Structure 1
Amino acid sequence: MYNMKKTRIYSAWLLTILFTFFSQISLAAHPNQLPNQEPNREPDREPDQEVQHLITFISNSNATFIRNGDEHTSKEAAEHLAMKYRKAKRYAKTADDFINNLASKSSWSGKAYTVILSSGAKLTANSWLTNELIRFRNTKKP
């Protein structure tokens, strides 16, 4: 019985050492890549900067937002989406995620947000914000 207990202890230590060894080898093989970091992703712009641009864009748009059947001003919509971003940032690792996961539909009802522009054009929030994000990225590139 004593030998079996001793064997289990040695096995646990061996597994711990092997795990540590292989995890260190993995880090040594990719020294510039932190765990959970996308490989070869250029840090061209902070996602927060892009999301903040989108929220400011919404606020200044003078568009009417329809959320769950109710109309909201652009300022109200911007405040609502800023709150969603603060509370659910884990679902928005990028500005694209912000649009797709937080700014396009109600997390409560699942209904898509729509936007009525001052010109009278009616769009989905997803397409409107995606177009603005593309425009913003293209104008900010060197």
Structure 2
Amino acid sequence: MAPTGATAAAMAASVDKAIVKREIDHLLQTLVTSKCEFNRNGSWYGGADAKSHLIKKYDYFMLRGEISTAESFIELAASKSSLSGQAYLVKCADGKSMESAVWLKQELARYRGAAK
């Protein structure tokens, strides 16, 4: 028998949360494996340090119920400093830096396209 009503809605929400978690995990892991650097408040960090910092921010916003999509994670936790308001940057092998929000959104689009 197929789930109905509240059961179906709960199952859909659970699947959606799993997809969002998988997308965010992918973004964080890609930051680590890309060998790109991450700039936060004027200092450059490796991917592992960036991931650690962003996980702390992710946890904070999740506790507040503010992250529901990979895009909201990027907007709230991974695009700028909560203290200074300064945009985070990502710099890869070509030496050019870009705002982390742009880099992460590009990677998210690539990931979603590859998943189809």
Q: Bin the TM-score by the shorter chain.
A: 0.7 to 0.9
**Against the structure 1 CA distance between its residues 78 and 44, is the aligned structure 2 distance closer, same or farther, given a 3 Å change threshold?**
closer
Between the aligned partners of 1:135 and 1:101, the Cα distance in structure 2 is 21
* Corresponding residue for residue 77 of structure 1: 50
Deviation at 1:53, TM superposition (A): 0.4
Please, which of 59, 64, 88 is the counterpart of residue 61 of structure 2? 88
The 3 A distance-change label for structure 1 pair 93 and 67 is same
How many residue pairs get aligned? The number is 107
Deviation of the 1:124 alpha carbon: 0.5
Give matches, 1:2-81, under 5 Å.
31=5, 32-33=8-9, 43=16, 46-81=19-54
Q: When the two structures are superposed, what TM-score results if normalisation uses the length of structure 1?
A: 0.67
Match of 2:96 among 114, 118, 121: 121
Counterpart Cα distance in 2 of 1:86 and 1:43: 18
SS at match of 1:53: helix
Length-normalised TM-score, structure 2:
0.81
Gaps of 5+ in 1: 1-29
Superposed CA RMSD:
2.2
Distance 1:44 1:105, change over 3 A: closer
C-alpha distance in structure 2 between counterparts of 1:92 and 1:109, whole Å: 21
Secondary structure at 1:106's aligned position in 2?
coil
Instruction: Specify the structure having the higher radius of gyration (Cα).
Output: 1
SS at match of 1:115: strand
- Give the number of the structure with larger relative contact order, counting CA–CA contacts within 8 Å between residues 6 or more apart: 2
Query: Displaced runs of 4+ in structure 1, greater than 4 A?
Result: 42-45
Q: CA deviation at 1:46?
A: 1.4
Q: What is the percentage of aligned positions where both structures have the same residue?
A: 33
Unpaired runs of at least 5, structure 2: none
Q: Name the SS for the 1:66 alignment partner.
A: strand
